[in-house]
Structure 1
Amino acid sequence: MRGVGGTDRPGRKPLGLSKDVLMPTILERRLARLAWDAASWVMAAGIVTGVVRWHLSPHQWAVVGHYVLAACVFQTLVGVALKLYQGRYRVATFEENVGLLTATGLVSVMAGVLLLNLDGAETTAVALVVLCPLLALLFMELGRGAYRLRHDHDRSRTSASTCERVVIYGAGDAGSQLVRLISDDRAAAYQVVGLIDDDRMKRHLIVHGCRVMGTGESLVERAREAGATTVILAIPSAGADLVRRVSDDARAAGLKFRTLPPVREMIDRPVRLGDVRDLDIADLLGRRQVHTDVERIADHLAGRRVLITGAGGSIGSELARQVHGFSPATLVLLDRDESGLHGVQLSIYGHAMLDTPDVVLCDIRDEQALREVFETHRPEVVFHAAALKHLPMLEQYPEEGWKTNVLGTRNVLRVAAELGVKRFVNISTDKAADATSVLGKTKRIAERLTAWFDGHHDGTYVSVRFGNVLGSRGSVLHTFREQIAHGGPVTVTDPEVNRYFMTIPEACELVIQAAAIGRGGEVLVLDMGRPVKIVDVARRMIAQSGRDIEIVFTGIRPGEKLHEDLFAPVEHHTLSEHPAISLVDVPPQDPDQLGLVRGELAVTRLIPAEQDHAEIRLRV
């Protein structure tokens, strides 16, 4: 009989096409297991009586018969109660063996008690009660093991010519789950031919019938010996360095490379076969395990009224999703972009009617509108993520950067202070350190404003500074993907330019952690890892595409740096209690004296003239 996903005997429809066809097949299998377990008791009793060589009277044979019949009935009842025959356990797994052991123990006790109460059972009772259950359990497990071996053999024979032969890197929990999923799914596109694990203690370990063949050092050699065409990295906690090394080795050997998502994307759920995916450039740049103090974060968020500005943006929406996981009393999503609000509401709640009071359409430039929102919702915690962030655009329109990043931030700070917000977190950027651009200078002033409000009002006001986030709107990765999709060229400003990178979830996890540990008035700077050359990112993405695409260098743009800094030269930073967060003190900025600092935003921009470009200096 074929399994689900295959075909049954000639003349019958393929399985999986109809519920009417599928259900009898499942029922047949379950009845077959039940019949086998009953037969196991019969065979066990036959062996016991044959080995002991009793000369039994007809009455004693009747006693044996009653014992076997009782054992079969009790096996059926107990098995149904423990759902041994209702699909609770996969065949021949450890879990099913434990279930069989439990059922057999219960059956042996009930049948034994019945046997001892039968007349003339004394001569047969001890041998039957002691030996019969053990032999019956052995037969039950042998039958299931034989079925599993045949099933696996049929699966491998069927899939050998149609599936990708894969080596799984990682024999831990995720790798073990993945092997089992592939072996149990006849429709899977993979056939596991072996595993690789860097733990030498796992050498020769067999995981669901697949052997650990060696360590990462011998990956290519072992994959070739096994005839593999694909390597799957099944270590969700793998850092960027390991992902980079394994993917480079696989690509150099002509092997396909796939991976599982980082652990933060699979928390509190098992691995699924659909999790296996192609390598994303984010895996190579920003894949780090973030350790957060969940209890401390929960103390600041659980049961609190939380408001997020810029909730429809890349950072704001991820912040909203993570904050929602800590069960705040209310979560108010504020943005001036209705499409962004639609997206974040849909991702959190599974619907996007935009008709609830916790989704607020409001511009932070409008102080009175903000005040009305704060008076309505009375937030206790505010994450201020609303900002204009594209450096070249703000170089062209510096006044817009001033209105949103400076005056808008001042507005949010004012109404938060007036209405007694307990904790305020301003999202800043590494460009605020030793700022040379409109973006950096406006965000620097926002940091200083936040520090001033901390010193003059109750509550805790902090800023959190980090660099480029992978996958945000308008990020370099989106640009490169589009350019590669259109055949190039890929444009990079300078061969030496480098940047810090984080994934959006990683950045937001640390922002929430920073909010919990920040003492107030300071800037918390997130550890961004090592800076990466942008041209190297471009080359990797081109290599992944398999296309021959040119890289063109366009030159550094006004206000842009070759190398970003997380700290200005004059800033003294210290480590916080969290290893990935540093602390920097910034001078406070009185919001009533903002007119005096507008001159700091002297910028240079290029404006098209008739035939050339004229350089014009603007003082904003």
Structure 2
Amino acid sequence: MKLPVGRILYIVDVLVWMLAMLVAAILRYEFTFGDINWNAYVGFVLGAAVLQLVFGLVFNLYRKGMRFRAGGFEDTLSVSLAAGVVGSILWIISLIFGGVWEISRGIMLIATPGALILMLGVRFIARLIVRNSRKPGPDSAPALILGGGYVGTNLIRWMMSDPSSPYRPVGVIDDDPNLAKRKIRDVPVVGTFADIECAAERTGAEVLIVAVSAADAALLRRIQDVADRSGLSVKVMPPIGHVVANGVHVGDLRDLSIEDLLGRQPVETNVSEIAQYLMGKRVLVTGAGGSIGAQLCTEIAKYGPAELIMLDRDETGLQQALINVHGNGLLDTDAVVLADIREPDTLKQIFLDRRPEVVFHAAALKHLPMLEQYPDEAWKTNVLGTLNVLNAAEAADVETFVNISTDKAANPTSVLGHSKRVAEKLTGWFGQETDKNYLSVRFGNVIGSRGSMLPTFIRLIDEDKPLTVTHPDVTRYFMTIPEACQLVLQAGGIGRAGEVLILDMGEPVSILEIAKRMIAMSGKNIEIVFTGLREGEKLHEELVGAGEREDRPFHPKISHADVNILAPENLDKDGFMGRIGKLAYAEKEATR
């Protein structure tokens, strides 16, 4: 039967006391064995055994389930305190009873430091043996660790103590001059960022693991470029908060994704403002089965709404949203509502029955080329559908209404942009009429949303098909789904009646650059084909329209702009179609 580590350590410590006191007695009596009182020696060994057990338990030296691990200051201090207390008590006993028992008072003064040194030495050797036995095997890939801070140190500790680790650290890359020529957990610091190529060749590394807690997209792009030149694959670590809370596990390391290369520094949101208008409220989300709507539901659920109502006409999308929020897709709950925003009577009845207090309107048709072919569908969903939701919200006395818009509504040149612009104007009119927080939120492309560019590119690459790019100079704004949803929720807390809130999307990104990077990351030889700008499509998107005056009174990443309002009775489908026709004609004339 295998003994627990704590019990083994206790037995070793008792043997250490036995040996230390024997050596001390031999030295004290100058190798004259006849002068040693062996009965007193046995008594002191038994006393040491009892006291070591008591104070070993007090200082957690023999706790249940313990393992040999990399020792630190706390372990050394605990061993030292326990040995010091045991030795001191035995020395005091020798002072009091030494004459009676014929034992020298100097024996414990010699034995105690000797026992301490032996205890620490045994533990040190045991840890070396265990650590060497747990090192990654020869089949593990040699890896350079970029970052010698907290994340990097914990990553190396995990690698060096897990024999199943797929990676073996062979060097650390860090720009901190204080770390130059030093070692982190026995792994040498082999250079700075500028030395990655040389370090990779010198160490034979195959992988570069990014262990930088605040690596932004610009740094990750530089890392990817250097890795490509050096023949290194790139892995990234999770944020420092995850490492602190959960430690490091093999599943934490993941490939560098195109989202990492496009992303920006996370935008801080004021949780208290969000929670204030969502907590304990009945919240309804239209388009809850879509990418934005589903993520909105997930985020809203974190703030303790009294009820979360997910509405969509896509039953499969609703099932996925339900799984995200409630952990099941049974669909036997009134949390999901199957309805179409094109049906005004049905929609109004739902609102009157469920009485939502906060509404996020994410339902829309969004594919620009499709709506150019079928503008009537844009009118029915994006314009009349929005009006139906607004009318139902007014009838149910909704307090806060957030319409999800798009950057294509700024100076619109497409059916999509124009329909969303009209939706903004209608929302603004209801905001002024009700004097409640009816507002719109405008942002650009969302990375990874259903049917967007990135999933399309990924599929084309997987199928070895050419990537289609409309124009070599075309740029777009990008934002991650969670970031967009957090800012939408923030906007609902700070927006005022009739406003359009515009999310700061950072710098626009070249679509051609994205295509090239995705091809490079795939390792395939994929062709890029330029198809020309599609009808209604802009070369560069805008976030703020002509004549819109913006300011940022509450949040540094959210601009507030006033929009021209449009009363429902002034809606004119013929005018809408006519305006679209004029836009298309003007665009064709401009490209001649």
Q: Equivalent residue for 2:521?
A: 544
Is 1:389–2:366 an aligned residue pair?
A: yes
Task: Give the TM-score taking structure 2 as reference length.
Answer: 0.88
Unpaired runs of at least 5, structure 2: none
In structure 2, relative to structure 1, the CA distance for the partners of 1:304 and 1:102 (3 Å cut) is: farther
Q: Find 1:248's aligned residue among 201, 225, 248.
A: 225
* Structure 1 pair 458–330 and aligned structure 2 pair: CA distance change class (3 A): same
Deviates further, 237-246 or 132-141: 132-141
CA distance in 2, matches of 1:45, 1:426: 82
Task: Name the counterpart of 2:402.
Answer: 425
**What whole-Å deviation, never above 9, does each CA across 1:94-142 have from its counterpart, x for those lacking one?**
3xx5256447646865886688579944688987888867665554443
Work out whether residues 430 and 438 of structure 2, in 8 Å CA contact, stay in contact via their aligned partners in 1.
yes
Cα–Cα, structure 1 residues 46 and 58, in superposed 2: closer, same or farther, change >3 Å?
Answer: closer
Kindly indicate whether residue 434 of structure 2 is the aligned counterpart of residue 457 of structure 1: yes
Partner of 1:341: 318
Q: Does the alignment pair 1:39 with 2:15?
A: yes
- Whole-Å Cα distance in 2 between the matches of residues 244 and 474 of structure 1? 25
The partner residue of 2:47 within 55, 62, 67 is 67
Instruction: Indicate whether 1:86 and 2:64 are aligned.
Output: yes
Indicate whether 1:398 and 2:375 are aligned.
yes
TM-fit CA distance, 1:169: 0.9
* Distance verdict in 2 for CA 1:438–1:210, change over 3 Å: same
Question: Secondary structure in 1 aligned to 2:554?
Answer: coil
Q: Matched residues in 2 for 1:331 and 1:36: separation?
A: 61
**Aligned-partner SS, 2:526:** coil
| CA shift digits 1:231-259 (9 cap, x unpaired) | 01122431100100011101111112122
**In the aligned structure 1, how far is the partner of 2:167 from the partner of 2:40?**
57
Segment of structure 1 superposing worse, 134-143 or 278-287: 134-143
Q: Is the 8 A contact 2:10 2:53 kept in 1?
A: no
Q: Is the 8 A contact 2:280 2:304 kept in 1?
A: yes
Q: Distance in 2 between matches of 1:276 and 1:601?
A: 54
Please say if residues 387 and 568 of structure 2, whose CA atoms lie closer than 8 Å, have aligned partners that are also in contact.
yes
Is the contact made by 1:230 and 1:256 (CA closer than 8 Å) also made in structure 2? yes
SS of structure 1 residue aligned to 2:473: coil
Structure 1 pair 411–563 and aligned structure 2 pair: CA distance change class (3 A): same
TM-score (norm 1): 0.84
Equivalent in the alignment of 1:573: 550
Segments of 5+ residues of structure 1 without an aligned counterpart are 1-23, 606-614
- CA distance 1:518–1:259, change in 2 (3 Å): same
Q: 2:266 aligns with which of 256, 272, 289?
A: 289
SS of residue paired to 1:331: strand
Equivalent residue number for residue 195 of structure 1: 172
Q: Any conservation in 1 of the 2:79–2:116 contact (CA below 8 Å)?
A: no
User: The residue matched to 1:603 in structure 2 has which SS?
Assistant: helix
**Structure 1 position 145 matched with structure 2 position 116:** no
Residue in 2 that maps onto 1:159 = 137
1:475 maps to what in 2? Answer: 452
TM superposition shift of 1:458: 4.4
Whichever residue aligns with residue 50 of structure 2, its letter is A
Q: Partner amino acid for 1:493? A: T
* AA aligned opposite 1:65: V
Q: Deviations over 1:59-100 (max 9, x none)?
A: 643552233121233256447xx4844335661243xx5256
Does the Cα contact within 8 Å between 1:417 and 1:458 map onto a contact in 2?
Answer: no
State the match for 1:272 in structure 2.
249
Q: Is the Cα contact below 8 Å between 1:500 and 1:564 reproduced in 2?
A: yes
Question: Which residue of the partner structure matches residue 235 of structure 1?
Answer: 212
8 Å contact from structure 2 (residues 94, 104) kept in 1: no
Are the equivalent residues in 1 in contact too, given 2:21–2:108 (CA < 8 A)? no
Q: CA deviation at 1:326?
A: 2.4
Give the superposition deviation at 1:371.
2.9
- The aligned residue for residue 380 of structure 1 is 357
1:512-547 Cα distance to aligned partner (Å, 9 max, x none): 222222233211111112111211111111111222
1:84 touches 1:99 (CA, 8 Å); kept in 2?
no
Give the secondary-structure state (helix, strand or coil) at the position aligned to 1:406: helix
CA contact (8 A) 2:264 2:506 kept: no
Task: Map 1:173-184 onto structure 2 (within 5 A).
Answer: 173-184=150-161
Instruction: Give the Cα–Cα distance (whole angstroms) in 1 for the partners of residues 384 and 61 of structure 2.
Output: 65
Q: 1:271 to 1:310 in 2, by over 3 A?
A: farther
Higher mean C-alpha displacement, 68-77 vs 112-121? 112-121
Letter in 2 for 1:580: K
Root-mean-square deviation (CA, aligned residues, Å) is: 3.2
Distance 1:341-1:165 versus aligned 2 partners, 3 A rule: same
Quote the residue 1:409 is aligned against. 386
How far 1:306 sits from its partner (Å)? 2.2
1:592 positional shift: 2.7
